Amino acid sequence: MQNAPRHHAADLKADNDRFAPVRGIAAELSITPARPAPAWLLHHDEHAVPVSGSRTPARIEENLAAGRVELSQDVPDRLTAILGATQVEGGTLL
């Protein structure tokens, strides 16, 4: 997995730069960068259940906290625009 093209230094830097706007929104909301995505999903459908991988209990708590994030009307639209315009560098994992 670590030899996948998307993990090469140039591709990884490009991908990290692309997600700076998401990190900016997280900073505006005073939440961790991991919370906007599940909060966005929950905002779109109250019956959705975001399932994310986690290696530690602290990360599970962080993921659960996304359900308590209150998004103003413009935030989901901004996230949709940001993520819709994003293309990951370095190909796919498959």
- Split into its structural domains, the chain has a count of 1
Any domain includes 90: no
What pLDDT, in 10s, does the model give residues 51-63?
Answer: 777 788 888 888 7
pLDDT attached to residue 83: 77
Any domain includes 93: no
Using CA atoms, how far residue 31 sits from 17, 66, 72, in Å, is: 19, 9, 14
Question: What sign has the CA pseudo-torsion 46, 78, 81, 86?
Answer: negative
Any domain includes 89: no
Q: Report the first-to-last Cα separation within the chain, whole angstroms.
A: 9
The domain of 56 spans 5-84
* Residue spans of the chain under pLDDT 70: 1-7, 15, 86-94
Any domain includes 94: no
What pLDDT, in 10s, does the model give residues 26-39?
Answer: 999 999 888 888 88
